[in-house]
Every structure is written in C-alpha cells, then in structure tokens.
Amino acid sequence: MPASTMDAVAALVDAAAGGPDALDFAPRAAAARYSVRSHFGRACTVLLTGSTGYIGSLLLEKLLRSTDVGRVYVLVRARRGQNPADRLARVLRTPLFHLITPEQMERVTPVAGDIMQPGLGISDEDRAVLEAEVYCFDYGVVACWGLDALQESSFVRNIASHGLNTSLADANDDVEIDQFQFNVSTTERPHIQNDIVTLHRKAAADHKVKLAISYALSQSTMLSLYERRVTDLVLESKHLPEQLAQTGEVTLTSEDVAKLIGRVFLHRAAVNLLGSVLDTPEFFWREADSYQALYSRICEYLELSERVEVLNARFSVLQEMLDMLRDHLNNQHSSRLEVIVIVLIFVEVLVGLVELMGLFGWFK
C-alpha cells in the first residue's frame, strides 16, 4: 500500500470499508516477483498485521530469519480473554519459529489494535511509540526521535522511576537536555548543520543511521553535564585563591580540601577513564564503515575532542589550585607542630632549671 505514515495506513484501511475498489493492490504477476529479502534488505521498522494467522506468521518468520529488519511491530487484537502480548507469545512458541534465535525474537514488539477500528484501533501512547524512536545508553543518556516535550518527559520519568532511588525532580542537578531538530530530504545525505539533523529518505528508515547519530549526540550531552559540574566546582572554589592572596589563610580544613580533590578526580576519571565520552562505541566495530564515518562527522561538528581538551585543562588548573591549598595547609600544620615542639622544649628546660636550683638549695 502506498503509505509512509501511520495516519496514511489507517486512512487506507478505513477507506477499504467503502468498497472493494478502495485499495489498489499490485497485480498477481508483480506480487509473484516480490522478494521479502530485497525489500527489507536494510535495517528498518515494520508494522505487520495478521501475524496470528497462517500467512502472517509465515511472513513474520521470513522477516526475522531472512532480513536485517530492526524492529517488527505486530498489530494484535485482544481475544477470548488473552491480551495481545500473550497471543503473540503463543505464536512465537510454535515449531514454525524454531530457527529464530532469541536475539531475533527480541526484534518483535506486540501492539494492541484492530484493523476494523478507526485508526487501526491503536492507542495514542502506542501510536507515539510507533512514530518515534528512542535509544537508551548505559551511561544514563536517552536520545528521543520524533517525541514532543511531554512525551519525552513522560518516557524519561518512567525510566528514572525504575533506575533511581529518588524521584527525577530530586535529581535535577544531574539532568542535562540538548535539543536538536531533524528533517527528511530526498536529495541530501545524512549530516548536521545549525543543530538541524538532515536524513535522506532511505536512511530515515535505517535505525542504525539514527543510532550512529545518537551515539555522538549522547556523548556530547554527557560531556555537557561534566562541563557544568566543573563550572560548579570552579564557582565553588574560586574564592579560595583570592582569600589566600588577601589574608594568607583559607577557611577550609584539610578534610574539606581532600574532599574537593576527590570530587575533581572522580569527574576527571569519568571523562578520561570510563570511556563514555572518549571511546568510539563498540557498535561501529561490527557495522559498515559508513556508520562510523557519519558518527565521526557528527562528533567533529559537536567539537567533542576540543571540548575534552578544554575540560581537561580546567581539571588541571583545579588540581594545581587544590594541591597548592593542600601544601599550604600542610605547611601550616607543620608550623604549628614546630611551635608546639619549641614550647615543649622550653618547658622542659624550665623544669630542668628548677630541678637544678632545688639541688643547689636555691629555694631554701
């Protein structure tokens, strides 16, 4: 059917109720030459109906076994007390799918609906999922494509409620949001300019293209969070050199300075050692070079390497300042110890003199 959006598919199906000629199906000769493998040769997202029936289950098995399809959303209606997920799970357990691996099974997602209902009977929540794509990264970043602000907030809060011990509102200091626009072109290759991501019409159906872009955007967002944390550390400690220059003393204790040094090291280690910002994701090791080339172009646009260098320079300045404060406090402590030792020696000398004077009878 010539439809590129969910609304168009729903309109075509609704129109079919008006008469047998509402849909223009391909001739039998063309259908006989149709190849599932060639049509779905690239990673893409598919909405499939009738998968609980004989023909639909055969098509689903063929999609999973013979193509590199990224995600198959299966429209299933509730029936006889069974929800759509249970009905689909029963189909996937049949011998027909014995060649399908668990990894391939994970590509299948049930969607509650009914082709006899307006709009395919799909709920607003499921429709938003079908029309959008979301990529979650293990270092705490979520890249949302095609969701509005309310849907993004709802999705992130739902994830946070399962992964955080506190509510998302209590973790606002660790929340960083970067917003970009994207559009689809019929002539331009995938690129980014002026914070607008442009995708070719064919590439827009390839989830790996969006994943490659999302990796770069997620690393940039993570780096922005570290930049903000370093800025907060600088603002928190900028008065210390001024105080030392004006009074020759600082109000911090050795424990406070040690805590600041520990915080700086943790942030620096997160940027340079944990790999979420600097390392090229393992995803690109096993995929075509074109994906990594796209990822590299996005990273270059976002200036990730330059920003990491600037961030490390700020870390170095902070570390030097804190080392200076620690040395100053250590010298103060050493000076106090020297004064205490001198006082003790003086007291010991006085006690010795008193004892000598007692021996010679000076107190008689």
Confidence grade of residue 48 (pLDDT, cut at 50, 70, 90): confident
Averaged confidence pLDDT in the chain? 77
Confidence grade of residue 1 (pLDDT, cut at 50, 70, 90): very low
Confidence grade of residue 96 (pLDDT, cut at 50, 70, 90): confident
Confidence grade of residue 224 (pLDDT, cut at 50, 70, 90): confident
263-291 mean pLDDT = 79
207-330 matches 1-131 in CATH topology: no
- State the residue for tokens 């390839």: 206
Q: What is the pLDDT of residue 110?
A: 85
Question: What are phi and psi for residue 195, nearest 5 degrees?
Answer: 60, 25
Q: Which of the 8 DSSP states describes residue 201?
A: T
Confidence grade of residue 33 (pLDDT, cut at 50, 70, 90): low
Residue 23 has pLDDT above 60, yes or no: no
Q: Indicate the burial class of 158 (C-beta count within 10 angstroms; 0-12, 13-18, 19 or more).
A: exposed
The model carries a pTM of 0.59
Question: What are phi and psi for residue 149, nearest 5 degrees?
Answer: -60, -40
Residue 337 has pLDDT above 80, yes or no: yes
Residue 243 has pLDDT above 70, yes or no: yes
For the domain made up of 1-131, the CATH class stated in words is alpha beta
Which has more pLDDT, 305 or 154? 305
Q: What is the pLDDT of residue 40?
A: 65
Q: What is the pLDDT of residue 149?
A: 77
**Of 1-5, 132-136, 158-162, 343-347, which gets the smallest average pLDDT?**
1-5
Residue 31 has pLDDT above 60, yes or no: no
Which of 67-100 are b and which e, b meaning 16 or more Cβ less than 10 Å from the residue's Cβ? bebbbbbbbbbeeeeeebeebbeebbeeeebeeb
Residue 129 has pLDDT above 80, yes or no: no
Q: Enumerate long-range contacts of 113-120, CB under 8 Å, 24 or more apart.
A: 113/75, 113/76, 113/77, 113/84, 114/77, 115/13, 115/49, 115/75, 118/10, 118/14, 119/7, 119/10, 119/14, 120/6, 120/9, 120/10, 120/13, 120/75
Please give the Cα distance from 205 to 65 (Å, whole number).
19
Confidence grade of residue 58 (pLDDT, cut at 50, 70, 90): confident
- CATH of 207-330 among 1.10.443, 1.20.58, 1.10.3470, 1.10.390: 1.20.58
pLDDT per position as a tens digit, 168-215: 555 555 677 778 887 777 778 887 888 888 887 777 777 788 888 889
Most confident stretch, 38-52, 117-131, 196-210, 341-355: 341-355
Q: Where are the domains of the chain?
A: 1-131, 207-330
